[in-house]
Chains A and B, each alone.
Chain A
Amino acid sequence: MRKLSAIVLLVVAALVLSVLALPAAAQDEGGPGEGGIIIESNFGGDIATLNPIIISDASSSAVAGFLYPGIIGLDPETQNAAPNVAGALATGWEYDETGTVLTIYLRDDAFWNDGTPITAADYLYAAEAIKSGETDSARTYVFDSIESIEAPDDYTVVVTFKEFNCRSFNDVNDIPVVPAHIFSEVFETYADMNEDVDYNLNPTVTFGPFAFGEYRPAEQVSLVADQSYPDTILGYVSPAGWIYKNVADQTVEIELLLAGEINVVAGVTPERQQDMRDNADIQTFDYPANGYTYMGFNLADPTNPQDGLDEDGNPIDQGNHPLFGDVRVRQAIAMGVDVASMVDATLFGEGVQIATNAIPTSWAYDDSIEPWPFDPEAAAALLEEAGWIDEDGDGVRECRGCLYAEEGAPAEFELLTNAGNTTRERIGEIIQSQLADLGIKVNFNAIDFNILVQTLLGQEFDAIIIGWSLGLPDDPDGTAFYGPENDLVGSGFNFVSMNNEELNRLYNEAAHVPGCDQDARAELYIEANRLLRNELPYLYLYSANAQYAVRAEVEGFDPFPSFLYWNIDAWRVISAE
Chain B
Amino acid sequence: MTTASAEPKGIARLQMEEEQLISESLLKRALRRLWHDRLTMTAIGVIAILAILSIGAPFISEQILNTDYSRVDMAATFLKPGEQGHILGTDDLGRDHLARLLWGGQVSLGIGFTAAILSITIGVSIGIFTGYYGGIVDDLIMWFITTINSIPSLFLLLIFAALFDPGPLGLILVLGFLGWTGTTRLVRGETFSLREREFVISARAAGATDLRIMFVHILPNLISIVVVTLAIDIGVLILVESGLSYLGLGVPPPTPSWGNMLTDSQSFINRAPHLVILPGLLITITVLCLYVIGDGIRDAFDPTIVD
Stretch in A35-43, A195-203, A425-433, A467-475 with 4+ CB within 8 Å of B: A425-433
Cα(A446)–Cα(B268), bound, Å: 22
Can you add 13 more A-B contacts, CB < 8 Å, to A251-B269, A429-B93, A450-B162? A251-B266, A251-B267, A269-B267, A275-B270, A344-B74, A345-B94, A419-B249, A422-B264, A432-B254, A433-B70, A448-B161, A448-B162, A448-B249
Contacts of B271 on A, CB cut-off 8 Å?
271
Q: Are A447 and B252 in contact (CB under 8 A)?
A: yes
Contacts of A251 on B, CB cut-off 8 Å?
266-267, 269
Q: Is B77 an interface residue (CB 8 A)?
A: yes
Q: How large is the interface on B (under 10, 10 to 19, 20 to 34, 35 or more residues)?
A: 20 to 34
Q: Which residue of chain B lies nearest to A344 when distances are taken between CB atoms in the complex?
A: B74
Q: Is A500 an interface residue (CB 8 A)?
A: no
Q: Is B92 an interface residue (CB 8 A)?
A: yes
Contact with A along B253-285 (1 / 0, CB 8 A): 110000000001011111100000000000000
Q: Are A345 and B70 in contact (CB under 8 A)?
A: no
6 nearest A-B residue pairs (beta carbon): A420-B248, A446-B252, A433-B72, A341-B74, A425-B253, A419-B252
Cα(A369)–Cα(B229), bound, Å: 63
Q: How large is the interface on A (under 10, 10 to 19, 20 to 34, 35 or more residues)?
A: 20 to 34
Q: Are A428 and B267 in contact (CB under 8 A)?
A: no
Q: Which residue of chain A lies nearest to B92 when distances are taken between CB atoms in the complex?
A: A345
B residues whose Cβ falls under 8 Å from a Cβ of A = 70-72, 74, 77, 92-94, 161-162, 166-167, 248-249, 252-254, 264, 266-271
Q: Is A227 an interface residue (CB 8 A)?
A: no
Q: Is A434 an interface residue (CB 8 A)?
A: yes
A251-B266, A345-B74, A433-B71 are known contacts. Are A425 and B162 too (CB-CB below 8 A)?
A: no
Shortest beta-carbon distance from A41 to chain B in Å? 15
Q: Are B72 and A447 in contact (CB under 8 A)?
A: no
Q: Are B253 and A345 in contact (CB under 8 A)?
A: no
Cα(A81)–Cα(B189), bound, Å: 74
The A/B interface has a contact count, at CB < 8 Å, of 68
Q: Is A338 an interface residue (CB 8 A)?
A: yes
Q: Are B72 and A430 in contact (CB under 8 A)?
A: yes
19 contacts between A and B (CB under 8 A): A250-B267, A269-B267, A271-B268, A271-B271, A272-B267, A344-B74, A345-B72, A345-B92, A419-B249, A419-B252, A425-B254, A426-B93, A428-B254, A429-B70, A430-B93, A432-B254, A446-B166, A448-B249, A450-B162
Cα(A419)–Cα(B247), bound, Å: 10
Contacts of A448 on B, CB cut-off 8 Å?
161-162, 166, 249
Contacts of A560 on B, CB cut-off 8 Å?
none
Shortest beta-carbon distance from A209 to chain B in Å? 34
Q: Are B268 and A428 in contact (CB under 8 A)?
A: no
Shortest beta-carbon distance from B85 to chain A in Å? 19
Q: Which of B249, B254, B267, B270 contacts A444 (CB 8 A)?
A: B254
Contact with B along A331-364 (1 / 0, CB 8 A): 0000000100110111000000000000000000
Of residues 394 through 447 on chain A, the ones whose CB sits less than 8 Å from some CB of chain B are: 419-420, 422, 425-426, 428-430, 432-434, 444-447
Q: Are B166 and A338 in contact (CB under 8 A)?
A: no
Contacts of A451 on B, CB cut-off 8 Å?
162
Q: Are A434 and B162 in contact (CB under 8 A)?
A: no
Contacts of B167 on A, CB cut-off 8 Å?
445
Q: Are A419 and B92 in contact (CB under 8 A)?
A: no
Cα(A250)–Cα(B246), bound, Å: 12
Contacts of B72 on A, CB cut-off 8 Å?
345, 429-430, 433-434
